[in-house]
Structure 1
Amino acid sequence: MIQPPFLKIGDTVAIVCTARKFSFEEAKSAASLMESWGLKVIYGKTIGEDNHQLGGSDELRAEDFNAMLENRDVKAIWCARGGYGSVRIVDVIDFELLKTNPKWIIGFSDVTVFHSQIHNEGVQSIHGIMAFSVPKATDKSKDSLRDALFGESICYELSPNCNNLLGISKGILVGGNLSILYSLLGSRSSLNTSDKILFIEDLDEYLYHIDRMMYNLKRNGYFKELGGMIVGGMTDMHDNSIPFGQNAVEIITAISEEYGFPIIFDFPAGHGIDNWALRFGSVVQLDVNKNSVKIKWS
Structure 2
Amino acid sequence: MEATTLRPRMLTAGDTVAIVSPASWPEESVPGWIAQRVEAWGLQVVIAPHALDHRGYLAGSDGDRAADLNDAIRDPEIRAVIASVGGCGSFRIVPDIDIDALRADPKVLVGYSDITALHQVWNTAGVPVLHGAIAGAHGDHVRRLLMEDADTVVDADAGALSAELTTAGSAEGPLFGGNLEMLARSVGVVDFNLSGGIFLLEINRAAGLGMVDRALTQLRYSGTLDGIAGVALGSIDQFAGYEDRGWTIVDTLRDHFDALGVPVLGGLPLGHIEDLVTVPLGTRAVLDVDHGRLTVSSPSEG
TM-score between both structures, scaled by the size of structure 1: 0.90
Query: Contact (CA 8 Å) 1:200, 1:232: kept in 2 or not?
Result: yes
Aligned pairs (5 A) from 1:159-178? 159-160=157-158, 161-178=163-180
Secondary structure of the residue aligned to 2:295 is strand
Q: Residues 97, 166 of structure 1: CA spacing in aligned structure 2 closer, same or farther, 3 A cutoff?
A: same
Which residue of structure 1 aligns with residue 204 of structure 2? 203
Measure, in 1, the Cα distance between the counterparts of 2:42 and 2:152.
21
Match of 1:38 among 26, 42, 63: 42
Which residue of structure 2 aligns with residue 139 of structure 1? 137
Query: Aligned partner of 1:252: which letter?
Result: L
Measure, in 1, the Cα distance between the counterparts of 2:15 and 2:28.
21
Secondary structure of the residue aligned to 1:215 is helix
What is the deviation of 1:190?
Answer: 4.6
Query: Aligned partner of 2:187: which letter?
Result: L
- 1:92-136 C-alpha deviation (Å, 9 max, x unpaired): 11111111011111110111111012101211111111xxxx6xx
Which residue of structure 2 aligns with residue 98 of structure 1? 102
Aligned: 1:108 with 2:108 = no
Which residue of structure 1 aligns with residue 287 of structure 2? 286
Structure 1 stretch displaced more, 225-234 or 20-29: 20-29
Which residue of structure 2 aligns with residue 123 of structure 1? 127
Query: Aligned partner of 1:148: which letter?
Result: L
Which residue of structure 2 aligns with residue 273 of structure 1? 274
Structure 1 stretch displaced more, 61-70 or 142-151: 142-151
Query: Contact (CA 8 Å) 1:249, 1:265: kept in 2 or not?
Result: no
What is the deviation of 1:239?
Answer: 8.7
- 1:216-251 C-alpha deviation (Å, 9 max, x unpaired): 2221223331101111122423898x8333222222
Which residue of structure 2 aligns with residue 52 of structure 1? 56
Query: Aligned partner of 1:253: which letter?
Result: R
- Structure 1: which 5+ residue stretches go unaligned? none
Q: Residues 21, 84 of structure 1: CA spacing in aligned structure 2 closer, same or farther, 3 A cutoff?
A: same
Query: Aligned partner of 1:262: which letter?
Result: P
Aligned: 1:229 with 2:228 = no
- 1:24-56 C-alpha deviation (Å, 9 max, x unpaired): 532221111101111111111112222222111
Query: Contact (CA 8 Å) 1:207, 1:239: kept in 2 or not?
Result: no
Query: Aligned partner of 1:156: which letter?
Result: V
- 1:234-289 C-alpha deviation (Å, 9 max, x unpaired): 2423898x833322222212212243311111211111122211111101011111
Which residue of structure 2 aligns with residue 219 of structure 1? 221
Aligned pairs (5 A) from 1:19-38? 19-22=23-26, 24-38=28-42
Which residue of structure 1 aligns with residue 79 of structure 2? 75
The aligned length equals 287
Aligned: 1:193 with 2:197 = no
- 1:158-190 C-alpha deviation (Å, 9 max, x unpaired): 345453011111111111110111111122x15
Query: Aligned partner of 1:81: which letter?
Result: V
Measure, in 2, the Cα distance between the counterparts of 1:30 and 1:153.
23
Aligned Cα RMSD in Å?
A: 1.9
Query: Contact (CA 8 Å) 1:24, 1:47: kept in 2 or not?
Result: no
Which residue of structure 1 aligns with residue 300 of structure 2? none
Query: Aligned partner of 2:9: which letter?
Result: P
Query: Contact (CA 8 Å) 1:147, 1:154: kept in 2 or not?
Result: no
Match of 1:5 among 6, 9, 27: 9
Measure, in 2, the Cα distance between the counterparts of 1:25 and 1:239.
34
Secondary structure of the residue aligned to 1:194 is coil
TM-score between both structures, scaled by the size of structure 2: 0.89
Measure, in 1, the Cα distance between the counterparts of 2:253 and 2:76.
42
Secondary structure of the residue aligned to 1:89 is helix
Measure, in 2, the Cα distance between the counterparts of 1:59 and 1:170.
39
Query: Aligned partner of 1:215: which letter?
Result: T
Which residue of structure 1 aligns with residue 156 of structure 2? 158
Measure, in 2, the Cα distance between the counterparts of 1:30 and 1:195.
35
